[in-house]
Chain A
Amino acid sequence: MIDGFLALYIFMLAAFTGYEIISRVPVILHTPLMSGSNFVHGIVLVGAMVALGHAQTPLETAIGFLGVLLGAGNAAGGYVVTERMLEMFKSSKKAEGK
């Protein structure tokens, strides 16, 4: 069980991690990175799966289904657009080497 101060510590450490990772990113990667971090919170899909997996009433099932649908969209869409953007970044040195 994660509760109280343990949760607070996790929140704090994760927040610092996120802050530190981004602070070293060059501006040219900001758009892909925003898209990439958008993909990462697609992990919400896992939570929505749990919610739907434990749904009992029809209302809970409908809400859970919506949650999984949206979560899957977040994860899949975030991945596709980020990958498409990053695939295009090439260095002229590398291109000449080939």
Chain B
Amino acid sequence: MAAFLPTLVKASYFLAALLFILGLKRMSSPRTARGGIVWAGAGMLVATLATFFLPGMHNLPLIAAAIALGTLAAWISGKRVAMTAMPQMVALYNGMGGGSAAAIGAGELLKFGAGEAASTTQLVLGVVGALIGAVSFSGSLIAFAKLQGWMDRRFVFAGQRFVNALVFLAALAAGAALVAGRLEVGVVIAFFALALAFGVMMTLPIGGADMPVVISMYNAFTGLAVAFEGFVLQNEAMIIAGMVVGAAGTLLTQLMAKAMNRSLANVLFGNFGAARGEAQAITGAQKPVEAADAAVMMAYAERVAIVPGYGMAVAQAQHKIWEFARLLIERGVKVRFAIHPVAGRMPGHMNVLLAEAGVPYDLIADMDDINPEFPATDVALVIGANDVVNPVAKTDPTSPIYGMPILDVASAKNVIVIKRGKGTGFAGIENALFYADNTRMLYGDGQAAAAELVAALKALDGGH
């Protein structure tokens, strides 16, 4: 059928592929990023409309209805979701894409079974694409459920890896049977059931902290599945767009894993936090500070670095913190926000949360830029961040986070940590920073503490 695609539809697919690549390219700079998504969106619109005019298409009202339903549901949920919940929404939409690719694979395999001609390459890529798509679908849904808090963080049992490997091999065997020509409905169903089960089982043992890497990996998976099913359908736009995302997603996954000091294999098969020996004892005591004193320290400082973590976003404190930062800037203090690559729940998530509060992106510094500046920084204000500022990552080889790149907050002249209580971070590791001589602890809820800082600063101004 594909050989008879009219030139116009082919041209629109070409245009769509071009717009996708240009759009992604524009998204690589903060200045042009907004335009980038609009360009890519235009490409999607053109390709979707053109597809209605393909010759030999039936079920047009049904297609329109399905598009309307899917678009409406996703549009409304996408508009309503809070910025803190962005990672799981990406997982959800990504899972939908994987499911769609798997559905295409299922439909084509059934058609091949009913006697439609297919080359061996089409058959193989159709099966592989369906396998990857189905794994991405069920795996992404589990990732969504975990980040949404619907599911216990981890699910582990003895011999899990062995069972998972068995399920995967069984799925491969069913796929091989399909390629070998046993295109019966029963085999197709068994193949998809096994693939979906594998996606679930592979994601269950992975902890919440590692989820961003997994979501990014499934994003790349869906891209590949789309490219392979695009080959089966002889659809150039799907091949190009899918492959571009597959490659980009793979790179992004590597970058994230690297920022967390984990290999991908370690994320997928390792047990985070498995003890490597007795942790070095941390000596000293946590020294508390009052909000008023902390505010004065920063008001008369020359340079202040604010180090936000996911805890700040959970407490919805970013607006108050930005208000505080603006008051400092008005007093002539040089304020910068220092962001760890994995602050928040995925790389760049914290930037989104700060942007939502109105923080301009040129006040936000990456880890590599700000780390050399900490020794010249008078006060580092840590709010809701823990593991990413823990010096143990550099000093204690027995620590699970040993070797992870951290923000070098401890080298600032003074450190103020806003923290709810004395507990440990997401990874459950004691933080040596909290016991350091130059560290003062400001206990309290993030938003309340930030509000106290703002009030203290205003009182200071009013007094003069």
Interface residues in chain A, defined as those with a beta carbon under 8 Å from any beta carbon in chain B:
1-4, 7, 10-11, 14-19, 21-57, 59-61, 63-95
Contact B235 A77 (CB under 8 A): no
Asked if B196 lies at the interface with its beta carbon under 8 angstroms from chain A, I say no
Asked if B162 lies at the interface with its beta carbon under 8 angstroms from chain A, I say no
Residues of chain B within 8 A (CB-CB) of A78 are 90, 93-94, 97
Contact A17 B21 (CB under 8 A): yes
Interface string of B266-282 (1 = CB under 8 A from A): 00000000000000000
Residues of chain A within 8 A (CB-CB) of B7 are none
Instruction: A30-B255, A33-B28, A36-B37 are known; give 20 further A-B pairs, CB within 8 A.
Output: A1-B234, A3-B121, A22-B252, A29-B33, A29-B351, A30-B348, A33-B27, A37-B219, A37-B252, A40-B241, A48-B100, A49-B67, A52-B59, A67-B100, A71-B100, A78-B94, A83-B38, A86-B27, A90-B358, A90-B361
**In whole angstroms, what is the CA distance A91 to B351 when docked?**
13
Asked if B165 lies at the interface with its beta carbon under 8 angstroms from chain A, I say no
Residues of chain B within 8 A (CB-CB) of A39 are 37, 40-41, 44, 93
Residues of chain B within 8 A (CB-CB) of A46 are 13, 47-48, 51, 235, 237-238
Residues of chain B within 8 A (CB-CB) of A70 are 70, 96-97, 99-100, 103
Residues of chain B within 8 A (CB-CB) of A15 are 243-244, 246-247
Kindly provide the distance from the CB of B318 to the nearest chain A CB, expressed in whole angstroms.
12
Contact B101 A44 (CB under 8 A): yes
Residues of chain A within 8 A (CB-CB) of B67 are 45, 49, 68, 72
Kindly provide the distance from the CB of A42 to the nearest chain B CB, expressed in whole angstroms.
6
**In whole angstroms, what is the CA distance A16 to B255 when docked?**
16
Contact B33 A32 (CB under 8 A): yes
**In whole angstroms, what is the CA distance A46 to B100 when docked?**
10
Residues of chain B within 8 A (CB-CB) of A44 are 97, 100-101, 104, 222, 225-226, 229, 238, 242
